[in-house]
């Protein structure tokens, strides 16, 4: 099983990174097929609206540090995107990547019942920690991006929301979250 884990928080040891580590430990300890990347350490642009991915190319033609990440997303069985809520939405680092996922839509994506370019069977885990403990707050963030991921061709999407976890929290010690990480890994391995 090939796994690509993409961390969209600037905090290398923050809540997103902790959840990703625990999930990877549960999924495939020490797998050589696992790629982990922190977007904050990369140099890249958002979508340039060149429309090459809708006209002349099946992939994004912008060449920067996201080029390899986009390829990892295309070839991995499981993709983990971890993106905490900053100022009411996912971080800018994660949004930059998500804009580039425009390249995962087919040219006729608006009318095509199968609008995504990804090959069938790929799973996505969407990890979204937030400081606010109210589950209604920012649930729209999760459902909005989840809808886009589905249209891009991910066959199954597993959201992991961590509520009420701030900068001082140790999310790894939260029994509810660790149980959710564990059940998510079990579901992925069983499917
Ligand atoms: C600049 C900034 C903005 C934030 N904005 C929000 C917010 O709008 N809503 C919220 O619930 N939490 C907000 N938070 C809290 C984070 O979502 C929370 O600390 C989360 O666990 C961070 O994950 P990380 O450690 O992976 O970066 C914000 C944190 C920072 C640093």
CATH number at residue 29: 3.40.50.360
Structural domains in the chain (count): 1
Q: Which atom of ligand 1 is nearest to the CA of 18?
A: 26
Q: Which residues line ligand 1 (CB under 6 A)?
A: 9, 11, 14-16, 84-88, 129-132, 165-167
The pLDDT tens digits along the chain (191 residues) read: 999 999 999 999 999 999 999 999 999 776 678 999 999 999 999 999 999 999 999 999 999 999 999 999 999 999 999 999 999 999 999 999 999 999 999 999 999 999 999 999 999 999 999 999 999 999 999 999 999 999 999 999 999 999 999 999 999 999 999 999 999 999 999 98
Q: Report the chain's C-alpha Rg in angstroms.
A: 16
Full residue range of the structural domain in which residue 116 is found: 3-190
Pocket test for ligand 1, best of 12, 21, 137, 167 (most atoms within 8 A of CB): 167
Supply the pLDDT for residue 54: 98
Q: Which residue from 18, 85, 87 has its CB within 8 A of the most atoms of ligand 1, so it is best to mutate?
A: 85
Q: Residue 7 to residues 53, 54, 91, 147: CA-CA distances in angstroms?
A: 25, 27, 10, 20
Pocket test for ligand 1, best of 18, 23, 93, 131 (most atoms within 8 A of CB): 131
Pairing of strands 156-162, 123-129: parallel
pTM over 0.85: yes
Q: Which amino acid residue places its CA nearest to atom 31 of ligand 1? A: 86
Alpha helices in the chain (DSSP H): 15-27, 52-55, 66-75, 92-100, 139-152, 175-190
């Amino acid at each position: 099983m090939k796994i690509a884990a993409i961390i969209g928080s600037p905090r290398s040891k923050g809540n997103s990174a902790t959840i990703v580590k625990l999930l990877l430990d549960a999924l495939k300890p020490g797998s050589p097929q696992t790629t982990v990347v922190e977007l904050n350490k990369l140099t890249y642009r958002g979508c340039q609206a060149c429309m090459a991915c809708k006209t002349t190319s099946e992939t994004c033609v912008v060449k920067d540090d996201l080029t390899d990440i986009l390829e990892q997303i295309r070839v991995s069985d499981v993709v983990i995107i971890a993106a905490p809520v900053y100022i009411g939405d996912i971080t800018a680092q994660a949004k930059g990547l998500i804009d580039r996922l425009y390249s995962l839509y087919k040219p006729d994506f608006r009318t095509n019942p199968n609008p995504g370019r990804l090959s069938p069977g790929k799973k996505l885990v969407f990890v979204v920690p937030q400081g606010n403990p109210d589950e209604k707050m920012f649930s729209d963030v999760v459902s909005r991006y989840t809808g886009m991921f589905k249209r891009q061709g991910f066959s199954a999407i597993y959201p992991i929301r961590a509520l009420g976890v701030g900068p001082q929290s140790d999310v790894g010690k939260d029994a509810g979250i660790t149980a959710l990480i564990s059940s998510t890994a079990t579901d992925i391995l069983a499917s």
